[in-house]
Amino acid sequence: MIHPKTDGSHAYHLDTTILNSLASATYTADAIRRHGAIASLELSHSGMYAGTYMTDKSKQKSMHQWGPDDTVRQDGVKVKALTEDMIKEIVEAYGQTAVLAKRAGFEMLMIHGGHGWLVNQFLSPYFNHRQDVYGGSLENRCRLAIEGLKSVREAVGEGFPIEFRMSGSELFEGGYDLSEGVKIAQMIEPYVAVIGDASKVSTIINAVYEEYHVALDI
């Protein structure tokens, strides 16, 4: 979780104001590395499906979530549209969290852009009906994803592998299909080392990591 102000779906997030947050992440990355694996951390925002009421279920119907548009979820929870200023905060939060992850010893990051979470909600014509620079055309719908990836790249520097997790097709009426999924991947590709579902690309993560480090001699 990269922006707890608008996403309370996960209890854990990297935050220097939280006691032992960075220390526990460092311990985790070190443990992974000691067992011969590459420590990678997923950065996510759940958007309209965040569970900010989870700490107090009595508030489930009185709180709203944040997403591309004003709407009401099927379970009756209100969703409010993120303002452009809030989107800017979220984009900056990707970079800020990436810095902390690298500082903790993680050697790769995955940006979650699939499965109906916030980035996917912006990519999707089903969820995204905005009339500003973040909605409408495919280029506009990809803007949040690309801005977030640029923020992460600026934070971690060159030679640090970034993966983007996305849904190739939303597989329901009104969502984007495989042909548009390919176009999204083509727009995302310049900013990442790997595109896919983590469960399907795990066998090539090591190869990607080695290629980056050998090529750049770091």
Contacts of 77 (CB under 8 A, 6+ apart): 53, 60, 61, 63, 64, 65
pTM exceeds 0.95: no
Alpha helices in 35-177 (DSSP H): 84-104, 118-123, 138-141, 143-156
**3-class state of residue 96 by DSSP:** helix
pLDDT score at 203: 40
pLDDT score at 208: 47
d(CA 85, CA 66): 13
pLDDT score at 78: 86
**3-class state of residue 65 by DSSP:** strand
DSSP state of 11: S
Only one residue has tokens 């280029």, namely: 139
d(CA 116, CA 40): 21
Averaged pLDDT, groups of 10, the chain, 218 residues long:
78 77 93 95 91 58 81 88 97 96 96 93 97 97 98 96 94 94 95 73 45 43
d(CA 101, CA 115): 23
| Burial category of 137 from C-beta neighbours within 10 Å (exposed 0-12, middle 13-18, buried 19 and up) | exposed
